[in-house]
C-alpha cells in the first residue's frame, strides 16, 4: 500500500528556517575596549569572555592614546585564549596591562592554548610567571609583528617588562609553528635601557618548529633566549638583539648567557644572525 506524507505550511517554514540558521556563515565581530577597569562592560576582560573564534579585539584610541598609554590594572588573571583565531590588536593604541596587583602565584598576562591567534601592540608588565604564555599544543600563533606598522609606540610589537620568571614562555609538546617577532623584552619603549629583570627573556621548553625573530631582549638574569627539554626541536632563533640595541649600544653587561640550551635548534649565522652584547 502506498504511503503519503503531508507537510503543513508551518512545518515547511520551520524546516526552512532551521536549514538557514544551521548553514549560515558566522560573522566575525570586533570588540572595542573602552574602559581601563579590571572588569565590567567595555573592558578587556569582558571582550575576552564574549569573543568567539574569528573575532577581533581593538582599543579605543580616545581612551588609550598611542602616545600616552593608559593602564589596565588587574587584580586577577585574564581569561585564557581557548577559542582560537582571535586577534588582540593594540597597534593603533597605547595599552598597558599591569599584573602587579595579582596575588595568586604563577600569573600570566596573556595565556594562549589555542591556534591562530595574533597579539599585537600591547605593553605587558609585572606578571609573576610570564607576560605571554603559549602552551597546551598552541600552534600558528603570532606574538608581535612589524614595529613600523601602527600608530602605537612599538607598532605591532609588544613591550614586555617586569621581574617575573619569563617575558614570553612556550612549553608542552605540540606547541609548534608559532612566531615571536618584533617585541621588546626587558627594556623601555626606546630599547635603550634595561627595564625589569626576567629570569629568561624568551623560554622554549619541549616545543618544536617555532620562530624567534627580530626581538630586542635586555632584562634577563639567566638567558636571553633559552631552548630546552627537547632533543630535536627545530626551533629557529635569528635576527634578534640580545643585550644590545639596534644602534649597537650594549644595554646589559655580559654576566649571563644570551642563548642557552640550544641543542639541535638553529641559531642562524647569516645576514640575519643574532647580535649579542660583548660588554
> Per-residue pLDDT tens for 16-26?
666 655 665 66
pLDDT of residue 144: 98
Q: How much is the pTM?
A: 0.86
- CA dihedral (227, 161, 157, 154) in degrees, to 10, reads -150
Residue 232, number of CB atoms within 10 A of its CB = 9
Instruction: Report whether pLDDT(155) > 70.
Output: yes
Instruction: Report whether pLDDT(278) > 50.
Output: no
pLDDT of residue 27: 85
All domains of the chain in start order, with CATH: 29-276 (2.160.20.10)
- Specify the higher pLDDT residue, 242 or 142: 142
pLDDT band for position 260 (cuts 50, 70, 90)? low
Give the sign of the dihedral formed by CA 244, CA 245, CA 249, CA 252: negative
Instruction: Report whether pLDDT(158) > 60.
Output: yes
Task: Specify which residues 96 forms β-bridges with.
Answer: 71, 123
Amino acid at each position: 500500500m502506498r504511503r503519503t506524507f503531508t507537510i503543513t505550511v508551518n512545518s515547511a517554514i520551520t524546516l526552512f528556517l532551521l536549514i538557514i540558521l544551521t548553514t549560515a556563515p558566522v560573522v566575525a565581530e570586533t570588540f572595542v575596549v573602552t574602559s581601563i577597569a579590571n572588569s565590567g562592560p567595555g573592558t578587556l576582560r569582558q571582550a575576552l569572555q564574549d569573543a568567539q573564534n574569528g573575532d577581533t579585539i581593538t582599543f579605543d584610541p580616545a581612551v588609550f592614546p598611542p602616545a600616552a598609554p593608559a593602564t589596565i590594572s588587574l587584580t586577577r588573571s585574564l581569561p585564557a585564549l581557548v577559542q582560537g583565531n582571535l586577534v588582540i590588536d593594540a597597534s593603533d593604541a597605547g595599552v598597558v596591562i599591569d599584573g602587579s596587583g595579582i596575588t595568586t602565584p604563577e600569573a600570566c598576562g596573556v595565556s594562549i592554548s589555542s591556534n591562530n591567534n595574533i597579539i599585537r601592540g600591547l605593553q605587558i608588565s609585572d606578571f609573576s610567571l610570564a607576560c605571554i604564555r603559549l602552551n597546551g599544543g598552541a600552534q600558528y600563533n603570532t606574538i608581535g609583528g612589524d614595529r613600523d606598522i601602527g600608530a602605537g609606540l612599538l607598532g605591532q610589537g609588544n613591550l614586555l617588562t617586569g621581574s617575573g620568571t619569563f617575558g614570553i614562555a612556550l612549553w608542552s609538546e605540540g606547541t609548534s609553528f608559532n612566531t615571536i617577532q618584533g617585541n621588546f623584552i626587558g627594556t623601555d619603549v626606546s630599547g635603550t635601557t634595561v627595564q625589569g629583570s626576567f629570569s629568561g627573556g624568551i623560554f622554549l621548553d619541549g616545543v618544536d618548529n617555532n620562530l624567534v625573530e627580530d626581538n630586542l631582549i635586555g632584562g634577563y638574569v639567566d638567558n636571553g633566549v633559552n631552548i630546552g627539554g627537547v632533543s630535536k626541536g627545530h626551533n629557529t632563533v635569528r635576527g634578534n638583539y640580545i643585550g644590545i640595541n639596534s644602534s649597537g649600544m650594549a644595554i646589559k653587561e655580559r654576566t649571563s648567557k644570551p642563548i642557552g640550551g640550544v641543542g639541535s635548534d638553529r641559531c642562524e649565522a647569516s645576514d640575519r644572525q643574532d647580535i649579542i652584547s660583548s660588554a
